[in-house]
Chains A and B, each alone.
Chain A
Amino acid sequence: MSATAVHSLWTTAGEVTSAAPGDRFTAPTIEYAQLAPVLIVVGVAVLGVLVEAFVPRRARYTTQVFLTVVALAASFAAVIGLAADGYATKSAHIAAMGAIAVDGPALFLQGTILLVSMVSVFTFAERRLEPAPHGDGVSPAGTKSRAWGRVDSFAAQAGSVPGSDSEKAAVKAGFTTTEVFPLLLFSVAGMLVFPAANDLLTLFIALEVFSLPLYLLCAVARRKRLMSQEAAVKYFLLGSFSSAFLLFGIALLYGYAGTVSYAGIAGVVDGDIQDIDPALADTMGNDALLLIGGAMILMGLFFKVGAVPFHMWTPDVYQGAPTPVTGFMAAATKVAAFGALLRLLYVVLPGLTWDLRPVMWGVAIVTMVGGAVVAITQTDIKRLLAYSSIAHAGFILAGVIAASPDGISSVLFYLGVYSFVTVGAFAVVTLVRDAGGEATHLSKWAGLGRRSPLTAAVFAVFLLSFAGIPLTSGFSGKFAVFKAAADGGAAPLVVVGVISSAIAAFFYIRVIVLMFFSEPKADGPTVAVPSPLTMTTIAVGVAVTLVLGLAPQYFLDLASQAGGFVR
């Protein structure tokens, strides 16, 4: 079956996407203006590759950072422009021959992704934390400004074997991996498309476009390189595994509906479209294909959002990846993946709401509880945040399940809130360092509040927001999501969510207690003084946390205005 299915997949895909049936072939119409946000990012990413090839080594860093920031800013401006033109509401539109939706949720999520990427780029570009590449790597006292501040968190030469002579030479030469910036941009481009994808193939391609650069980025840590590479390999293997499921699910859905477009599949599910393709006469309308295919596509997305039991890559990868990458990945990936999940459930499979409900409920519950419970015994701050992100995925799933406009807007709001706090928190993690690089073991954070009260206080704000304490953005988000879920008939989920929040509060507060009420260790870590770049990231995180905690209404309104999917 698969052979014919794959064969007809390619042929009919062309027919379905052709705008005018009857014509043999027409040139596709591409609305470049509506795709501008994606095109800008991709274009500059390509430009970045060329920079790597042609610009002298010492100028590359500045050029790349400049290009990346400009690209993200321009792209964000384009998103704002589209929203101002009304694409978010009344003139929502499906562009590029049905491949990409330009509507409220897409623009809102793209805006969020771009802003989060922007602050992430600042942590990527941070060069004052690592000690000098020359010499033994230990900063001689008093020569801070000269000896510190040359290299970032990424390997001197990603291709050199860890511990080899070539690595030492690369370090000594002061090389840096400026390729991370175009990689980041490629990844962002994929993320921009992912929640806007309006057919399954675009969805798959976007997934790969943003995943592959992430696999690479995970592998290029400057410290603990073996761990970093292990994380990348795991991520790659498991990511490919889940992609395979996703792809198989796409095939099955095509077999069921004879099309990969969201609207087409939805039409078949609802029974509106009944013209049977002769090549697919045996399979079309077979509900088993729909259910199995739908479940498999869901699984692919669950993997990306880090829902239990597809979450197991998360702690290992979050821990191994360079911390700026972890922050970016934890924030932006989640936004993109939840966006795609929302669109899939609201546009393609609303007819399956009742079939998928128990599965969704089950996944949401085990995700909330599992993430919170396992986090209790974690001893590494990055792994702790990884499990925290799993628990949060569960909370967001509760909002996704609400199946109402409020559900959509609350999830959009939560994603915005969560992503900024996450980037900020991981940015703080990059600051706490000892001789071996970042001091991520929790025991080293003991008494941090005594030595660096400001850093500890900022981190405490982020933790309180994660825990959903009132007056922080985490509370507003959680409240919106749980309210939508309760109104949408998922009150038991809310109960589980609140209990999980209570469990989760334990380990967040425990870190605060550790920082402020424990005696500092004699050989404890120091808090590095970052450049204005990382400071900006952290400041933005704190500002968003407090503003959305104290006065969330404007942004809630914005999210609810953006609440309608185009079909």
Chain B
Amino acid sequence: MENLIALLVAAPLLGAAVLLCGGRRLDRSGHWIGTVLAAASFVVGAVLFTDMLGKGAEDRALHQKLFSWIPVEGFQADVAFQLDQLSMTFVLLITGVGTLIHIYSIGYMEHDERRRRFFGYLNLFLAAMLILVIADNYLLLYVGWEGVGLASYLLIGFWQHKPSAATAAKKAFLVNRVGDIGLSIAIMLMFTTFGTFAFGPVLEATGDTSEGKLTAIGLMLLLAACGKSAQVPLQSWLGDAMEGPTPVSALIHAATMVTAGVYLIVRSGAIFNAAPDAQLVVTIVGAVTLLFGAIVGCAKDDIKKALAGSTMSQIGYMILAAGLGPIGYVFAIMHLVTHGFFKAGLFLGAGSVMHGMNDEVDMRRYGGLRKYMPVTFVTFGLGYLAIIGFPGLSGFFSKDKIIEAAFAKGGTEGWILGSVALLGAAITAFYMTRVMLMTFFGEERWRHAATPSPDEPDVEPAAATGEPHPHESPKSMTIPMIVLAFGSVFAGGLFSVGDRFLHWLEPVTGHDHGHAPVSATTVTAATMVVLVIGVAVAWAMYGRKPVPAVAPRGSLLTRAARRDLLQDDFNHVVLVRGGEHLTRSLVYVDHTLVDGVVNGTAASMGGLSGRLRKLQNGYARSYAVSMFGGTAVLIAATLLMRAV
């Protein structure tokens, strides 16, 4: 059975190679090849999953070593895969959602002449992401980590003719670089500390290692997670990444890649368990991002950017849960999976709306679309209910568990984290209701909005083509949305009833109930209350009153949130300006000091040379004098040495 593991990666990798090297002759069939290979990978995953279910909890982990990658004395790196319950969960999520999004893209990218290339990149992404989650050591994980970074870069900038897309791709790449440095340093630290970077030996050896070293490794891993999962302070790229095609936003920047940071932390649980300080930082990062993303999501008028803020916020929940230690690991992953369903569904819904609205993304020019796009409305609506935690739907179970776990952390910490999580739930309810109302309800603002939006002049086609004609998307797009909607509705219940998911993952991550200061029922009740408050406020602001087509000026916080809470301004002032000043001063030092010394030396040598050259005047008599003087000095020096 373990020999099948490599097939998981091989299928999409083959697809990427064929599609990217195959040239134009594959233009007509390329998207099918890509989709079939993604589906093949999913089938392999499903087969492995069934096999795994048939075994006892302790025997489920599979291992396959392909070859020795860097066999050096004292440094053994293997290309080897490990498929346990945690990896299996990711494999199913990645290949399952991945396949659906491949299918969706067939319709969505129908008119793009570079569709073959798009599918090649998608397959490349799948292969890299699978390597990331089934690697059995940190070095191979790093390969996948960089691979998804590359795929993300290529796909964000897929419409590279748009300067905004090219810039966004570059920004994502650069910010991720900062995180990647964290991962590489963590791997180096592991190698110096443990002499290896394979999961097994490293995670077993944490007991005998000093806490300081583990904290350092943990913080470096967290830095990596922050980069990849768009957590504060490396969150700035995710909003811009929405420049990529919407299926990309759904797959990479909502369901899978951005959750790699959560995987990394949960996978390295043993390190964090032994380094409480690092754990604390993880929870703080999660809590801050949770609020940060939610606030940004409230202010955005661009539907995809509002969803991006939401993604950031939901991953904040996961990171927060992961930082809670064994209390939260299982729930972090559970929320990750349910989020994968409903957020991918929401993005696909947003894509469907854009598809019917001439690629318009400004929600102020939507409104009343439920009549025109019934399937999209229903699937999007189910995703909406799931994310705000409507009782019975996926998000209800998974988010509720995280809030409980946060309280269960105990002490002041537990209260603060729990309250933040609750507050986040309220804001989530608010901004998602806002999205829902602005898009599908209210008056049909798109009918008389023919002028381009003043703050988004480069969002092209809507204005140019006049009034849009909203329509439902083709089957290839709606079917994946329907499938995902099923997941959004039922996954949470399926996982939670009888604690199935808990028992499934517990052998890998371990579990601890913590010391909840309040009962689970109380927490659920509180969640319901804040949910209602959030929805009600949104209804009051956007449901009862008409939505102005041009955004009002808004409060200071709103304006800041529209600018992503000034994250870019902060980066610009602190990093860009700081960097510019640093380079300028270095250049100054280089020009004056280094070049000065170098050029000065050269000039003085030249001058000396010119002067000495004059001694060579061509007269034999001068030469003779020089020789005579030289001999005199020679004799004098020799005699002097004896005298001394």
Contacts and interface: CB of A to CB of B under 8 A. Distances in A.
Contacts of A294: 638
B606 interface: yes
A292 B639 contact: yes
B627 A291 contact: no
Given A234-B620, A242-B627, A292 B606 contact: no
Interface string A312-326: 110110000000000
Contact of A310 (B602, B608, B610, B630): B630
Contacts of B630: 299, 302, 308-310
Interface in A268-321: 287-288, 291-292, 294-296, 298-299, 302-303, 308-310, 312-313, 315-316
Given A238-B620, A296-B631, A309 B626 contact: yes
Contacts of A291: 635, 638-639, 642
Contacts of A506: 602
Given A288-B639, A315-B616, A377-B606, A298 B634 contact: yes
Nearest to B635: A295
Nearest to A233: B620
A496 interface: no
A242 B626 CA distance: 12
A298 B155 CA distance: 78
B451 interface: no
B624 A238 contact: yes
A378 B616 CA distance: 11
Interface in B611-644: 612-613, 615-616, 618, 620, 622-624, 626-627, 629-631, 634-635, 637-639, 641-642
A202 B224 CA distance: 81
B600 to A, nearest CB: 14
Contacts of A238: 620, 623-624, 627
A302 B626 CA distance: 13
Given A295-B635, A299-B631, A234 B606 contact: no
Interface in B179-208: none
B635 A312 contact: no
A269 to B, nearest CB: 13
B608 A241 contact: no
Interface stretch (A122-130, A350-358, A526-534): A350-358
A308 B624 CA distance: 13
Contacts of A357: 641
A358 to B, nearest CB: 6
A188 to B, nearest CB: 26
Contact of A303 (B609, B613, B616, B627): B627
B59 to A, nearest CB: 59
A359 interface: yes
Contacts of B622: 312
Contacts of B612: 370, 373-374
A354 B641 contact: yes
Nearest to A315: B616
B540 interface: no
A358 B643 CA distance: 13
Contacts of A288: 639
Nearest to A308: B630
A471 interface: no
B605 interface: yes
Interface of A is mostly: helix
A363 B634 CA distance: 9
A55 interface: no
A204 interface: no
Nearest to A352: B638
B610 A309 contact: no
B610 to A, nearest CB: 5
A376 interface: yes
A237 B620 contact: yes
Given A237-B620, A287-B642, A296 B635 contact: yes
Contacts of B629: 309
Interface residues of B, number: 27
A245 interface: yes
A358 B641 contact: yes
Contacts of B638: 291-292, 294-295, 355-356, 359
A370 B626 CA distance: 14
Contacts of B627: 238, 241-242, 245, 299, 303, 309-310, 312
Contacts of A170: none
A49 interface: no
Contact of A503 (B605, B623, B634, B637): B605
Interface residues of A, number: 42
Nearest to B610: A377
Contacts of B610: 377
Contacts of A303: 627
Nearest to B619: A234
A236 B424 CA distance: 100
Interface string B106-149: 00000000000000000000000000000000000000000000
A163 to B, nearest CB: 21
B609 A377 contact: yes
A316 B624 contact: no
A345 to B, nearest CB: 13
A234 B623 contact: yes
Contacts of B624: 237-238, 241
A418 B227 CA distance: 59
A1 B565 CA distance: 103
Contacts of B631: 245, 295-296, 299, 310
Most buried by B among A309, A356, A503: A309
B634 A316 contact: no
Contact of A312 (B605, B606, B626, B639): B626
B630 to A, nearest CB: 4
A362 interface: yes
Contacts of B618: 316
Most buried by A among B612, B620, B638: B638
Contacts of B620: 233-234, 237-238
A301 B317 CA distance: 87
Given A310-B630, A358-B641, A373 B616 contact: no
Given A294-B638, A312-B622, A362-B637, A376 B616 contact: no
Contact of B613 (A233, A298, A358, A377): A377
Interface in A369-405: 370, 373-378
A426 B605 CA distance: 26
A315 B623 CA distance: 11
B239 to A, nearest CB: 49
Nearest to B615: A312
A391 B609 CA distance: 13
A296 B632 CA distance: 9
Contacts of A298: 634
Most buried by B among A245, A291, A503: A291
Contacts of B642: 287, 291, 355
A322 B462 CA distance: 85
Nearest to B627: A310
A292 B642 CA distance: 11
B608 A295 contact: no
A355 B620 CA distance: 31
By Cβ-Cβ distance, the 6 closest A-B pairs, closest first, are A309-B630, A312-B623, A376-B609, A377-B609, A295-B635, A295-B634
Given A234-B623, A373-B612, A377-B606, 19 more contacts: A238-B620, A245-B627, A245-B631, A292-B635, A294-B638, A296-B631, A298-B634, A299-B627, A310-B626, A312-B623, A313-B623, A315-B616, A358-B637, A362-B637, A363-B634, A374-B609, A374-B612, A376-B609, A377-B609
27 contacts: A234-B623, A237-B620, A237-B624, A241-B627, A245-B627, A287-B642, A288-B639, A291-B639, A291-B642, A292-B639, A296-B631, A296-B635, A298-B634, A299-B634, A309-B627, A310-B626, A312-B623, A316-B618, A359-B637, A362-B637, A374-B613, A376-B606, A376-B609, A377-B606, A377-B610, A503-B605, A506-B602
Interface of B: 602, 605-606, 608-610, 612-613, 615-616, 618, 620, 622-624, 626-627, 629-631, 634-635, 637-639, 641-642
